[in-house]
Amino acid sequence: MSIEIKMPALSPTMEKGTLAKWLIAEGDTVRSGDIIAEIETDKATMEFEAADDGCIAKLFYADGSDDIPVGAVIALISAGEEEEDSPPPVASATDAPPAPPAPEPAMPPAPVPAPVIDAPRARLADKVKVSPLAARIADAKGIDLAPIAGTGPYGRIVKADLRLPEASPALVRGEAVLAAAVPVELPPPADIPYRTIANSTMRRTIARRLTESKQSAPHFYLTARCRLDALLALRAELNAARGEGASKLSVNDFLVKAMALAMIAEPGVNVRFSTDATYWFERVDLSIAVAIEGGLVTPVIRDAGVLSVSAIAAQARELAERARGGMLTPQDYAGGTASLSNLGMFGIDAIVPVLNPPQALILGVGAGIEQPWKVDGGIALATIMDVTASFDHRAIDGATGARFMAALRGLIENPLRILA
C-alpha cells in the first residue's frame, strides 16, 4: 500500500511552497514524527514531519523546487505490506514439498475476511485522526469533527471530508475585478546594467496579498499627532530602575500596550469583515511587523491588552529574534486581530500602511521629532510623533476610527494610564 505525502499548508496564507531540502532519500525507512524535509513558506523555512511509518518509495520533486501547490503529492511512502492475493506459502512440519491438491467440488464463494491491521498501525490510526490543515479549518469554522468519517490514510479526516461549500475562486480572490487590470510586465532597459534575483516565496506572497488588500478592501486613513515627551520620560525612569544589564523597555512596547487598550476602549475597530457577517473579537491579538532578510513577517502578541509592558517587551524581543533566525512556527504568526508597523527607528516622519488581510486595522508609527508646539500656553519645543491608522471601511466607519485614534492619543500623552 502506498501513502501519498502532500505539500502541507504550513501557514494560514500559504498556497504554494518551495521544497528547500529533502532530509531523506528513496529507499529510506521513516517513522511517524521523523523530520523528512525543509519547506520554505511565505513566512519562514519549516521542518516537515512524516505522519506515517514506511519506506520512501518515490520523491517527485528535487531540492529547491518552488511553486509547488499546497496539496500536490511530493512523495510516496510504501507501507511494506504483502499483496493480499499472493499470501506466502505455509511450510509443512517436515519441510517436504507439498503434494498437489486433489480437485475439490465447486463451492459458492466465501466472503473475504477483513484485513487484520497490525498493532503498530492500529496505534498510528489512534494517534493520527485529522490532518493539520483540516484541524485548522475546523477550528476556524467551528466544525465538530466527532461525527465525520475520515477518508484519508488510516481513516484520517482530511480537508475534503469537511464538505466545505464551493466558492468561486474569481470572487474569493477578486480576479473577476482584476482581470482587466493585469499589469503588463516589461523587460528591463537593455542599456542599463542589472542583475536578476528570483523572487522568493515570501516576496511573491507579500506582493500578491498586499495587491489584493488595496484592490479589495476600501482603505481610509486617520492621522493623529501625539506629544511623546511624557512617555519618553516615563520610559527613561523605568529603564533606570531596572538596573544595569537588564533588558530595556522600548517606545514600541508602550505603543503595543496603548494600541491594545485603545482597541478595548473602542471595540468597533477590533473586527473583521466577511460577506455575510462582521466578526467582533473579544481579545486583542496584535501582529507586530518585523523586518527580516528578504521581506517581513508579523508574529502575534496574544491578548496584549492584559499583558504588562514588561511582558510585552519580553515577548516582542523573543519573537523578533526567532523571526530573524527563521525559527517562527505557524502558531507564532497565525491569527492577529490588528497590526502595528513602526518605522520610527529608521527616522521616518510618517507611514501610511497597507492593511494586512484579512485584518481591518493597521497602525503605522513614525519617529518622534522635536518641533515647535503649544506647551503650557506658550510655544516651545516638544517631541511629536505621527501615527496613521488604515481602516477597512467595509467594517469600520469614520467616527469609530476617530474615537479609537482619540483614545490612542490620550494614552500616549498620559502614559501612566498605560501602566494602570
pLDDT digits (tens, 9 = 90+) for 94-130: 344 444 444 444 444 444 444 443 433 333 334 347 7
HEC string of 279-291 equals EECCCCCEEECEE
Q: Is 254 a residue whose pLDDT tops 80? A: yes
Q: What does the chain come to in residues? A: 420
Bridge pairing between strands 361-375 and 338-342: parallel
Whether residue 8 is preceded by a cis peptide bond, meaning omega within 30 degrees of 0, is no
pLDDT tens figures, 215-231: 999 999 999 999 999 99
pLDDT of residue 199: 86
pLDDT tens figures, 224-252: 999 999 999 999 999 999 888 888 999 99
| Distance (Å, whole) CA 144 – CA 142 | 7
pLDDT confidence bin for 209, thresholds 50/70/90: confident
Which amino acid belongs to residue 170?
A
Whether residue 393 lies in the annotated active site: yes
Least confident of 70-74, 88-92, 351-355, 384-388: 88-92
pLDDT of residue 190: 87
- Is 281 or 205 the better-scoring residue by pLDDT? 281
Distance of CA 216 to the CA centre of its chain: 20
Q: Provide mean pLDDT across the span 182-191.
A: 79
Helix axes 229-242 and 251-265, enclosed angle (nearest 10) = 120
Handedness of CA 397, 400, 401, 402 (dihedral sign): positive
Write the CA distances from 355 to 217, 326, 337, 340, 388, integer angstroms.
8, 24, 11, 10, 12
Handedness of CA 364, 417, 263, 218 (dihedral sign): negative
The beta strands (E) that lie in 101-172 are given as none
Percent of the chain with pLDDT over 90: 45
Catalytic residue among 283, 324, 393, 394: 393
- Is 361 or 201 the better-scoring residue by pLDDT? 361
Helix axes 398-413 and 229-242, enclosed angle (nearest 10) = 50
| Distance (Å, whole) CA 389 – CA 341 | 10
pLDDT of residue 137: 80
pLDDT confidence bin for 42, thresholds 50/70/90: low
The candidate with the shortest Cα–Cα distance to 313, out of 301, 331, 326, 303, is 301
pLDDT of residue 83: 38
pLDDT tens figures, 138-169: 777 778 787 887 776 667 787 777 877 654 44
pLDDT tens figures, 363-383: 999 999 999 999 989 999 999
- The CA R_g of the chain, rounded to the nearest whole Å, is 29
Q: pTM of the full predicted structure?
A: 0.63
- Is 87 or 137 the better-scoring residue by pLDDT? 137
State the virtual CA torsion across 32, 33, 34, 40 in degrees, nearest 10.
120
Q: Provide mean pLDDT across the span 255-278.
A: 96
